A and B are shown apart, each in its own frame.
Chain A
Amino acid sequence: MQASELKIPKKPGLRGSVMFSISFAFVLTIVTMITVEFSLLEIIENFTRPNMVVDGLLSPDLTQIFSERSRSAFLETLQLAILGTVSGGGLSLLMAFWATDFGNPIGWLRVVVRNFNNVIRSIPDLLWALLFVTAVGVGILPGLLALFFFSMAVVTKLTSDTLDGIDQGPIEAARASGSGQLSMLRMAVLPQILPSYASFLLYGFELNLRASAVLGLVGAGGIGSRIEFFRGRLEWSEVWGLVLMFFLVVFLVERLSVTIRRRLV
């Protein structure tokens, strides 16, 4: 018998939803590129043209950070980040408990807390700063308030996600032995999330440190005010010197924080 040619089953077409997603992404890209007036030519032209920003970057003034004013602005940034994280992150533990069913038996309150947190989280750090500058005037207080809200939202989100996945057994055990709500949270829940929570706090600190560098751009204190000052005077060597030195510190803090976080979890 002669073997007839084998018929390969027809290749199934891409699933409709996949096709849709790909076309959607494609159209989105085209439309957004038009919106932002994207032009490769302009990018290349502008980057190749000599300019003082790049000149400054090539000869950064790395000693600027040790000058009296820059140094105190730098310390201010550090302190802002510490206080912002401790206060915001501290409150976020409560917020996270209030957002879970075992931490908060009142259904509607839970929904309120969750939505409140989503709203807070959707407002970016710098916008917070600008709002508080408007409310209490230029200074470091608006910076602190901005970092407070910013880190509270982030840490609350991460912590409540962790809470959603904890072992419910100890909670049942605590309830079965007649525990009250607060004692139950402390004894059956907190130990389970403490390492993650501590790690989130450190993460919040890293974010806050980075954010606190830009607060000054809208008048909310810290090293950003010095960056803004030199930018205003078009002294780009100083700007880049501050930026590079500051982010060297951020980098080191982050390494340290990552090392600690590894040990925690």
Chain B
Amino acid sequence: MSNLSLPNKPVDWFRNTITLAIAVAVIWSLIGLEIKWERLIDLPGDLYVIGTLMFGEMNIEDFPDLVGAMWESISIAWVGTLIAALFAIPLSFLAAENLVGRPLAWLIRQVFNLLRAIPEVILAVALIPIFGLTPLTGVLAIGIGSIGTLGKLFYEVIEAIKKEPLEAADAVGANKLVRFRWGVVPQVMPEMASFVLYRFEVNIRASAVMGLIGAGGIGNDVAQALRFNDWSVAGMGMLIVIFGTITVDAISGAARKQIIRGSSAKSLTPVEVQA
């Protein structure tokens, strides 16, 4: 039987370009970075030593202080998230193209984008000279830093609302405020609440490191302990960070599930990732 010929394979330029770009970027980085790779050889050994120092023997006396510090971190994250939500909610309505004009929406979105780009830690660095080495610095850093992300998530929710309730409000001759109160708010509430909780979970991680630069919370204790080779404190601090974060994640995640259940919301986790 004669050989069949397959049709020619189309060239996927998009894919090829990206593959090539990645390869070039990796090679460029490998050459550019003067990394002392040989230090990697000792790394497992060093980590083992540090690990045994940190987790080998723990002192129960350190426990209450560290738990208190973790609580401070959680508090920083919660208050910071609420502050961010307080600003993000009104701003996000002004950024939704189905509610306001395009130019205004565009402007607010750029503000969100700018705020989103800057990490909380950098904000904290800038706030320390103003507020000192206090938890309030951490709160404000997280508060300002989360406005952008929350705002973006919020206006996407607002833009996805169904038109029918708005039409119903219009049909009975409602004014703008009534239309907003009954046509928009009920639709966006559950998802917004869920996203605030989601951001809270993210912010726990951010607030845990605020202390590394002196802005309050458990990071402070861990950083100090590592600096002064106070290994067992650092170890217990780490464990408390891990345990605290996972616990808060679990509680907050369960709460999100409760909120979303029974509402028309589509997804549990914001698809920040899908842009």
Contacts and interface: CB of A to CB of B under 8 A. Distances in A.
Do chains A and B make direct contact within the complex (CB under 8 angstroms)?
yes
Interface of A: 17, 21, 28-29, 31-33, 35-39, 42-43, 46-47, 49, 51-54, 57, 75-76, 78-80, 82-83, 86, 118-119, 122-127, 130-131, 134-137, 139-141, 144-145, 158, 198-200, 203, 210-211, 213-214, 217-218, 227, 231, 234, 236, 239-240, 243, 247, 250-251, 254, 257-258, 260-263, 265
Please classify the interface of chain A as helix (H, G, I), strand (E, B), loop, or mixed, using the class held by over half of its residues: helix
Contact of B30 (A17, A83, A118, A217): A83
B32 to A, nearest CB: 5
Contacts of A32: 74-76, 78-79
Chain A CB within 10 A, most for which of B26, B33, B37, B246: B33
Given A83-B33, A265-B274, 18 more contacts: A21-B255, A31-B75, A32-B76, A33-B79, A36-B76, A37-B135, A39-B136, A51-B130, A123-B241, A123-B242, A125-B209, A141-B35, A199-B274, A210-B117, A217-B121, A217-B125, A231-B125, A234-B129
Interface residues on chain B, size class: 35 or more
B84 interface: no
Contacts of A42: 131, 136
Interface of B: 14, 18, 22, 25-26, 28-30, 32-37, 39-40, 42-43, 46-47, 50, 71-72, 74-76, 78-79, 82, 113-114, 117-119, 121-122, 125-127, 129-131, 134-136, 138-140, 205-206, 208-209, 212-213, 216, 219, 222-223, 226, 238, 241-242, 245-246, 249, 255, 258, 273-275
B135 A127 contact: no
Contacts of B43: 135-136, 145
A127 B82 contact: no
Which label, helix, strand, loop or mixed, suits the secondary structure of the B interface? helix
Contacts of B82: 29
A27 to B, nearest CB: 11
Nearest to B82: A29
A13 to B, nearest CB: 17
A122 B117 contact: no
Contacts of B28: 79, 82
A17 B261 CA distance: 13
Nearest to A259: B275
A135 B139 contact: no
Nearest to A253: B117
Contacts of B226: 130-131, 134
A144 B212 contact: no
A139 B36 contact: yes
B123 to A, nearest CB: 9
A203 B273 contact: yes
A126 B129 contact: no
B194 to A, nearest CB: 12
A36 B205 contact: no
B266 to A, nearest CB: 14
Contacts of A134: 50, 226
Given A32-B79, A119-B242, A79 B140 contact: no
Contacts of A36: 72, 75-76, 79, 135-136, 138-139, 216
Q: Which of A51, A82, A236 lies at the interface centre, i.e. has the most chain B CB atoms within 10 A of its CB?
A: A82
A38 B255 contact: no
Contacts of A51: 129-130
B122 A227 contact: yes
A126 B50 contact: no
A254 B113 CA distance: 10
B136 A243 contact: no
Given A28-B78, A82-B26, A144 B35 contact: yes
Nearest to B74: A32
Contacts of A29: 78-79, 82
Given A39-B136, A123-B241, A136-B46, A46 B130 contact: yes
17 contacts: A17-B258, A32-B76, A36-B76, A38-B79, A43-B140, A53-B126, A53-B129, A76-B32, A82-B26, A124-B241, A131-B226, A135-B43, A240-B126, A250-B117, A260-B18, A261-B274, A262-B275
